[in-house]
């Protein structure tokens, strides 16, 4: 809230170019920007929340099928992606730090590394998606499960069950429900990847403008706000990774 009077509105100073006409001072503008970003992130929580609800519901309804689907995902690739994304969060935080301390070279460097890690994540995701399509794991009429995977037969076997014919027990799993898992997997990771792509775009802008020297310790709100967004996308993945990749190992 503006505590001061309007004396500074038309005033001159090093930061006036970055100050929009309807704010009293830089502090108010920064506060509004940060608040706006946080409110936006709340909408993002609810947006992903709808899908988390669907996940929770169907996982509790069809635990076996979800475990089955989950085992088709590569923990190795997912794990690498988790490491990549957490690393990019660190470099993003460092970029904000560099902007705060006015180190332009480091700012550009950290932004570039963040962008690179983000693109790495997307690249690995693309490899995973390709694999899923090749294995007919995308839900739909061509959906198939199992031929290429050794774990297929283990599914139907209860740990204490008799060594029944794996083939005979297969129909116990409803293919439609496994498809539901894959649909939720694609919807959630796809929406996450879309957010990554938008984040990568924002980072490219930041790099372009930091090279032009737009950001100073007085005005670095875009860096800070993009940082908040990037960390949020990281947090979504922090939940997606265990829920989609890990929880199916034992059911």
Partner 1 sequence: MISTAPKPSEVIVPPQRHYLNAGYGVKSWLLTTDHKRIGLLYLASITLFFFLGGAFATIIRLELATPAGDLVSSENYNKFFTMHGVVMIFFFLIPSVPAVLGNFLIPLMIGAKDVAFPRLNLLSWYVYNIGAIITLYAIIAGGVDTGWTFYAPLSTTYSNTNVMATGVGIFITGFSSILTGLNFIVTIHTLRAPGLTWLKMPLFLWAHYATSLIQVLGTPVIAITILLLAFERAVHVGIFDPALGGDPVLFQHLFWFYSHPAVYIMILPSMGIVSEIVATFVRKNIFGYKFIAFSSIAIAVFGFLVWGHHMFVSSQSVYAGMVFSFLSMAVAIPSAVKVFNWTATLYKSSVSYQTPMLYAFGFIGLFTIGGLTGLFLAALGFDVHVHDTYFVVAHFHYIMVGGAIMGYLGGLHYWWPKISGRMYPEGWAKLGVLTIFVGFNLTFFPQFLLGYMGMPRRYHAYSEEFQVLNVMSSAGASILAVGYLLPMIYLIWSMRYGPVASANPWPSTGLEWRTSSPPPPENFEKTPVVTWHAYEFKPRDQAEIVGEF
Partner 2 sequence: MSEHIVPIKIYLSIWLTLMVLTGVTIWVAYYDLKQFSVIVALSIAVFKALLVVLYFMHVRYSSRLTKVIIAAGVFWLIILIALTFSDYWTRNWQAAF
Which residues here bind partner 1, judged by CB under 8 A?
1-6, 9, 20-24, 28, 31-32, 35-36, 39-40, 42-51, 53-54, 57-58, 61-62, 138-140, 174, 176-177, 179-180, 183-184, 187, 191
What the block records as the tokens of 23 is 């704010």
* Closest to 224 in 3D by CA, of 45, 31, 24, 42: 31
Contact between 155 and partner 2 (CB under 8 A)? no
**Per the structure block, which two tokens stand in for 81?**
């992606």
Residue closer to partner 1, measured from CB, 10 or 147? 10
In order, the DSSP letters of 173-209 are S-HHHHHHHHHHHHHHHHHHHHHHHHHHHHHHHHHHH
Closer Cβ to partner 1, 140 or 161, answer by number: 140
CA dihedral of residues 123, 127, 128, 131 (deg, nearest 10): 170
Q: Given the complex with partner 1, which of 20 and 162 has the nearer CB atom?
A: 20
Closer CB to partner 1, 99 or 225, in the complex? 225
Report how far residue 125's alpha carbon sits from residue 55's, in angstroms, rounded to the nearest whole number.
20
H helix and E strand count, the chain: 8, 0
Residue 176's binding partner, choosing from partner 1, partner 2, none, with beta-carbon cut-off 5 to 8 A by kind?
partner 1
Q: Name the site residues for partner 2 (rule: CB under 8 A).
A: 27, 30, 34-35, 38-39, 41-42, 45-46, 49-50, 52-53, 56-57, 60-61, 75, 79, 82-83, 86-87, 89-90, 92-94, 97, 100-101, 224, 227-228, 231-232, 234-235, 238-239, 241-243, 246-247, 249-250
């Amino acid at each position: 809230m503006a505590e001061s009077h309007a004396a500074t509105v038309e005033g001159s100073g090093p930061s006036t170019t970055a100050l929009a006409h309807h704010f009293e001072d830089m502090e108010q503008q920064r506060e509004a920007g940060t608040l706006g970003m946080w409110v936006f992130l709340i909408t993002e929580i609810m947006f992903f929340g709808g899908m988390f609800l669907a996940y929770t519901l169907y996982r509790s309804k069809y635990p076996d099928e979800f475990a089955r689907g989950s085992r088709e995902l590569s923990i190795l690739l997912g794990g690498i992606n988790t490491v990549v994304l957490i690393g990019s969060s660190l470099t993003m935080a460092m970029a904000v730090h560099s902007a705060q301390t006015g180190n332009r070279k480091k700012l550009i460097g950290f932004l570039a590394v963040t962008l690179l890690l983000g693109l790495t994540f997307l690249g690995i995701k693309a490899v995973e998606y390709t694999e899923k399509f090749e294995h007919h794991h995308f839900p739909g009429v061509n959906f198939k499960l199992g031929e290429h995977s050794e774990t297929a037969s283990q599914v139907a076997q209860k740990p204490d069950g008799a060594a029944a014919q794996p083939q005979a027990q297969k129909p116990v799993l409803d293919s439609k429900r496994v498809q539901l898992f894959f649909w939720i997997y694609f919807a959630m990771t796809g929406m996450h990847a879309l957010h990554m792509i938008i984040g990568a775009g924002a980072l490219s802008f930041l790099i372009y403008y930091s090279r032009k020297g737009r950001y100073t310790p007085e005005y670095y709100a875009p860096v800070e706000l993009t940082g908040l967004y990037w960390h949020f996308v990281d947090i979504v993945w922090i939940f997606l990774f265990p829920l989609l990749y890990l929880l199916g190992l034992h059911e």
